Amino acid sequence: MRRKWMSFGFFGLLAATAVVAARAGEGAAPPAPEAPEPVVIGPIEGTVTADRVNLRTGPGRTADCVILGHFASKGDAVTVWRQQGEWYEISPPKAMPCWIFGRYVSVPEGTDLAAGAAVGAVKGDKVRARSAGDLHGHILAELPADTPLAVLKEANGWYQVEPPAPVRVWVFTKFVELGEAVAVAPPDDPTGTTDPAPGVERAEREKEAEKLLGRMKSLIADGNLRGAREIKGLLTVDYADTAAAAEAAGIEVPAEGVVGPVAPPPAASEKLERAEALYAEWVKGEVVGTGAGRTVDLVKLYFDVMQASAEGEPAHEKAKERLAEIRLRLDGQTKASQAQIDRLKERIAEIHEEHTKELARTGNFAGSGRLERMPELWGRPGTHRLRKGGVVLYYLKAGHAGLNLDEQVGRRVGVYGEVSLGPAGWGGQVIEVTKVVVLNQ
């Protein structure tokens, strides 16, 4: 199977694709001092009122609100869930591209996708659904294990599926006409009333909050205090009206391991030394064929170096340089078959994905999430913030003059640094950042 060569996210080459022109019909985007928080208004059925209305990854026209596709035509039905300013969060149309790496999709044995779509499921937890069948695709959602899937086709080791329920996108409110709220009948009411049932929604929220509270208590017992504080933040913000949130507010999460300096992983110098020694041998031998195993080992070592260092550090930049050289040498192979080259490229792409997931799992960061720049507000606790699950959990400020947080805006990152409580009126925590690690592009 042929696979397009991956673009190492650490190289910063993806920045060129982040510039998205505002499409006709959306109008100019007036600057806003602070984006309003999303408000739950659905589910509400609606109708698209124009042709080719854009579907975006976020509520806006900025570079990180990428256009994923569009509705086919005026009159298409849509389910609306939340509103943020002039944008609606909706369930995407079934035709919107959505891809999952093949090893994380379970399909019945003997399935022939050429004969039509098949019923499948997600294999593994926090599996990423992407907008394209490679590592360049924008991450649409992280799916829990056993999420049902309608599998459409397979290409280059990836499966295209209909966007599953957790995937949501955004459209401009001007192009959606809202209808009636979706009916939710109580379990003991067989009449199917057309009125929404707020009691049922309330019960579901209480149930979700209870699960989060149980998880928070387990993390405290296991000593994962940072994780416990993150869940406490979610409860007190997203589930503030529940009994579980009130109980969580009264639970004191010990400060040990939470407030204070968080040390980065060991220096990358030793790893770089080992990688350079192997590189000196690698350049003398074959890249593909009998040398494929050595090539894979070398790529792993240089990824380890990059993950143990920060952008701009000598070890980090040397690892980037070496990975680029490996790419050029692999692309210039003439003696090996194309099938051999493609298999090696596929394995390297898998290594990139595996290292990203492992770093996100074991990074021991002071905080992690999507990095955003804060508006110019008086008394703000930091210049940037980390958002996760729609909630701002951390405010950030650079811990030294050589750190430029603007370079990582829009990316999912983990940060190291000194953690302290936020000022009165802001809540959350403030991290004086000493190092930023990009978890994905």
| Domain 31-91+169-181, CATH | 2.30.30.170
Residue range 23-81, pLDDT digits in tens: 433 444 444 445 566 676 767 888 998 888 888 888 887 766 778 888 867 888 888 88
Q: How many Å apart are CA 13 and CA 93, to the nearest integer?
A: 30
Q: How confident is the model at residue 163 (pLDDT cuts 50, 70, 90)?
A: very high
User: Comparing 361 with 386, which gets the higher pLDDT?
Assistant: 386
User: Comparing 204 with 281, which gets the higher pLDDT?
Assistant: 281
Instruction: Select, from the ranges 23-32, 118-127, 308-317, the one with the highest average predicted confidence (pLDDT).
Output: 118-127
Residue range 405-433, pLDDT digits in tens: 988 888 888 888 877 766 656 656 788 88
> Within the chain, how many helices (H) and strands (E) appear?
7, 19
Q: Is the pLDDT of residue 222 over 70?
A: no
Supply 275's token pair. 């990688």
Domain ranges of the chain: 31-91+169-181, 99-161, 269-362, 367-440
User: Comparing 394 with 254, which gets the higher pLDDT?
Assistant: 394
Q: Is the pLDDT of residue 440 over 80?
A: no
Where do we find the tokens 């579901």?
204
Q: Alpha carbon of 151 to those of 69, 79, 97: distances in Å? A: 19, 22, 12
Number of residues written out for the chain:
441
**Whole-model pTM?**
0.38
Which amino acid is present at 149? L
pLDDT of residue 437: 80
Ramachandran quadrant class, 379 (left: phi over 0; alpha: psi -120 to 50; beta: rest): left
Q: How confident is the model at residue 216 (pLDDT cuts 50, 70, 90)?
A: confident
pLDDT of residue 242: 80
pLDDT of residue 60: 84
Instruction: Select, from the ranges 108-122, 257-271, 331-345, the one with the highest average predicted confidence (pLDDT).
Output: 108-122
Q: Alpha carbon of 230 to those of 61, 215, 248, 335: distances in Å? A: 29, 11, 12, 53
pLDDT of residue 230: 65
Quote the mean pLDDT of the chain.
74
pLDDT of residue 186: 39
pLDDT of residue 151: 92
Q: How confident is the model at residue 248 (pLDDT cuts 50, 70, 90)?
A: confident
Q: How many Å apart are CA 133 and CA 101, to the nearest integer?
A: 7
Q: How confident is the model at residue 17 (pLDDT cuts 50, 70, 90)?
A: very low
pLDDT of residue 33: 46
Structural contact between residues 133 and 156, judged by C-beta atoms closer than 8 angstroms: yes
Structural contact between residues 121 and 149, judged by C-beta atoms closer than 8 angstroms: yes
User: Comparing 10 with 286, which gets the higher pLDDT?
Assistant: 286
- The dihedral through the CA atoms of 238, 244, 245, 251 has a sign that is negative
Closest CA to 436 of 277, 421, 411, 304: 411
pLDDT of residue 396: 92
DSSP string, 355-389: HHHHHHHH---SEEEEEEEPP--TT-S-SEEEEET
- The dihedral through the CA atoms of 115, 120, 122, 124 has a sign that is negative
